[in-house]
Amino acid sequence: MCGRFSFTSTKEEVEQTLDLTLGQELQKSYNIAPTQKAYVVTNEYPQRLQAYNWGLIPHWVDEAKVTGKLINARAEGISSKPSFRIPIRSKRCLVLADSFYEWKPYGGNKLPYRIMMKDDRLMVMAGIWDIWKQGDQIFKTFSILTTIPNKEMEMIHNRMPVIFSEKQQQKKWLEDIPLQEVLGMMRAIRDKSLKFYQVSDKLNSIKVNSEQLHHEVLSPPTLFD
């Protein structure tokens, strides 16, 4: 599962990672929550950075509401799920982040952790998108794909986003490739690719969106207690 993430990367980092040319400065967010906008690159416009709402709305539903229910799409069985079977074949995207958050059960509580690339690079997650239109109403939305965790994430949660650490993977995800190749790409990032630390439980409130959420919490309990 991926229920919150952040994006504070620079325009230059995005341009270098994805071979894009961006005219605008990018908006930072330390606490991107379901229904909010986030930066994506779709297979329809692979040279353009766009902002879509997080929480897929299938194009075929009668009434569209940005509820954030379909924020994640499990890799297992995705090709047969009504909401995901068309997007996984023809509407794929890259979701940009510098980290994502996950909550680890501890006693009767859940402790939030920030997870990022070990080398602090831009994090590029696999996603699917759709566009719902009716009259003047248009909703552009996406889901983040999740899979079983690698060794680092096993210590925190039993799911994790599909992350592409190599340019070749990122480009291939946006290409017109057979479904079996797409399905084969949806696996956990290799072990020892990520780092993590505990952060403030102020993350729980979507009203809090400040650099403080990226600060490590050093007080016990720790992950290894």
pLDDT digits (tens, 9 = 90+) for 181-203: 999 999 999 999 999 999 999 99
**Residue 77 CB burial class (10 angstroms; 0-12, 13-18, ≥19):** exposed
First to last CA, the chain: 24
Alpha helices (H) along the chain: 11-18, 87-90, 151-154, 167-173, 179-185
Where does the pLDDT of residue 106 fall: very low under 50, low under 70, confident under 90, or very high at 90 and above?
confident
Cα→Cα distances 153→90, 122, 156, 189, 201, Å: 29, 18, 5, 10, 19
Where does the pLDDT of residue 224 fall: very low under 50, low under 70, confident under 90, or very high at 90 and above?
very low
Q: Considering the domain boundaries, does residue 223 fall inside one?
A: no
**Global confidence as pTM:** 0.94
Q: Considering the domain boundaries, does residue 222 fall inside one?
A: no
211 is catalytic: no
Which pLDDT value is given to residue 171? 97
Phi-psi region of 120 (alpha: psi -120 to 50; beta: other; left: phi over 0): left
Which pLDDT value is given to residue 220? 56
Q: Considering the domain boundaries, does residue 111 fall inside one?
A: yes
Which of 102, 152, 175, 181 is flagged as catalytic? Answer: 102
Could you write out the DSSP letters of every residue in 180-213? HHHHHH-SPPPTTSEEEEE--GGGG-TT--SGGG
Where does the pLDDT of residue 163 fall: very low under 50, low under 70, confident under 90, or very high at 90 and above?
very high
Q: Which domain holds residue 144?
A: 4-214
Q: Considering the domain boundaries, does residue 220 fall inside one?
A: no
Report the CATH number at residue 96. 3.90.1680.10
* Inter-residue contact 4 to 101 (CB < 8 Å): yes
Which pLDDT value is given to residue 58? 95
2 is catalytic: yes
Which of 2, 63, 93, 152 is flagged as catalytic? Answer: 2
Whether 225 shows a pLDDT value over 50: the answer reads: no
* Inter-residue contact 21 to 41 (CB < 8 Å): no
Q: Considering the domain boundaries, does residue 89 fall inside one?
A: yes
Task: HSE, CB side, 13 Å, CA atoms: give it for residue 127.
Answer: 29
- Split into its structural domains, the chain has a count of 1
Q: Considering the domain boundaries, does residue 150 fall inside one?
A: yes
